[in-house]
Amino acid sequence: MREIKVGLIGFGTVGTGVVKCLQRNGDLIAARSGIRPVIHRIADLDITRDRGVTVPPGVLTTKADDVLNDPAIDVVVELVGGTTFAKTVVLRALQAGKPVVTANKALLAHHGDEIFAAANASGADIYYEASVAGGIPIIKALREGLAANHIQSIHGILNGTCNYILTRMENEGLAFDEVLAEAQRLGYAEANPGLDIDGHDTAHKTAILASLAYGEWFGMAPLHIEGIRHLELQDLRYARELGYKLKLLGIVKLAGRNIEIRVHPALLPVDSLLASVSDVFNAVYVKGDVVGKTMFYGRGAGMDATASAVVADLVDVGLNLKYDSSQRVSAFRPHGTYDDVVSMDDIVSRYYLRLQVKDEPKVLGAIATLLGDCGISIASVTQKEPTSGAGAVPIILITHQAREAAFRQALAQVAKLDAVRAAPTMIRIEDL
């Protein structure tokens, strides 16, 4: 039995979950793995709040230094969040040769290069299973379980708040603003929800998955990011009639030797497994060239699910300490197997397009001709009956595959038509 002394920095929701998990399941974890992680110190600015767990006297401190400078501590768990103080904590620990476990996706997405360089310089481990898709062991799956595969694509539902909002819009016919307001009242969405609903949190996780899949730490710069704030209920309804469900996806794809990385709402075939992932749940759909289609599903956030991943990382760190095998699975190993990230202009997709048009003859013909002239081929058209007094009717088009730049060019021209009465609505379609 190897006991490892854990120094926790940041005693918020996830930190509390880690302490609870180790108190409740410590014996089982030790029996199963031969490693017993024990909480040695916890640093947080607030050490008086009742978190529903009891820790021995002397464990709590308000000074991160009491963790970072304590030679007895075997591993530092960074649960501060953010990219400033958290970065200092992680770099100081790694530079001191001390392994780190973190759940901090923003930190890794923005500063992974610097952090992995520090880890590689000192040889210390940094594990980050909890940073993507919470309790789902997707990072272990990508780095180890699917190690034999060229990853052909990843489609991730990676933000529980967004998936909750889209599920309620879909199931209950509620508008985006309405669901968001209620989610905020219930504490499912932040008072400032931009990180979630504008796609940034999904993008952080997508950047990490892309980097692991393709062996280059991409950072955030190459990502195209769209959120769900602009989505309208009518498009969910029309899409559903056509056999699609709307999800916010983190998408990573191999296109030849190039790579696509993007975050945006997308329509999925309603009978696909990924489309069935609802409420706050996350899922990562991975296609490998050897294994074929796989999917990994579970809770992407929350005290306990995230703690499950942090504690699994502690066991891995503990095993590496026990066997003197730090960086056995490299924190991040760059390799030049693939080429560049392609521009959004160059992706190829099918598109859902809704136009509000004057209810008069020849409009549809003019639109179809214009799209055809731009090389955009139409797969299906639905023209809706006018609602009383509306003056404009919706036309829903599904296109065949087209290059994004060509589609956008066509769209700009369609928008200029006199008969088109509002800005067109476009949603990409992903065929899994």
- Radius of gyration for the chain, computed over Cα atoms and rounded to the nearest angstrom: 24
Nearer to its own copies, 21 or 73 (CB): 21
Q: How far is the CB of 53 from its own copies (least distance, A)?
A: 14
Q: Which helix (H) or strand (E) holds 23?
A: helix 13-33
Instruction: Measure the CA angle with vertex 131, ends 340 and 55; round to 5°.
Output: 160
Nearer to its own copies, 296 or 352 (CB): 296
Q: How far apart are CA 219 and CA 332, in angstroms?
A: 13
Q: Count the residues in the chain.
A: 432
Q: How far is CA 317 from the centre of its chain?
A: 24
Copy the structure tokens of residue 95. 């530079």
- Quote the strand ranges of 141-194, DSSP E: 151-157
Q: How far is the CB of 121 from its own copies (least distance, A)?
A: 18
Q: How far is the CB of 376 from its own copies (least distance, A)?
A: 33
Q: How far is the CB of 316 from its own copies (least distance, A)?
A: 7
Residues 266, 199: contact at Cβ < 8 Å? no
245 annotated active-site:
no
Strands 425-429 and 258-269, sheet pairing? parallel
Q: At 421, is the secondary structure helix, strand, or coil? A: coil
Nearer to its own copies, 59 or 295 (CB): 295
Q: How far is the CB of 307 from its own copies (least distance, A)?
A: 6
Which residues sit at the interface with its own copies, rule CB under 8 A? 17, 21, 24-25, 27-29, 31-34, 129, 135-137, 140-141, 143-150, 215, 271, 273, 276-277, 281, 288-299, 302, 304-305, 307-309, 311-312, 315-316, 319, 322-325, 328-330, 333, 335-337
Nearer to its own copies, 81 or 145 (CB): 145
Nearer to its own copies, 250 or 318 (CB): 318
Q: How far apart are CA 125 and CA 307, in angstroms?
A: 19
Beta partners for 292?
288
Q: What is the dihedral of CA 394, 355, 375, 430, to 10 degrees?
A: -80
| Active-site option among 98, 205, 247, 253 | 205
Nearer to its own copies, 335 or 362 (CB): 335
Q: How far is the CB of 181 from its own copies (least distance, A)?
A: 26
Where b means 16+ CB within 10 Å and e means fewer, 66-92 reads bbbeeeebbbbbbbbbeeeebbebbbb
Q: How far apart are CA 246 and CA 299, in angstroms?
A: 19
Catalytic residue annotation:
205
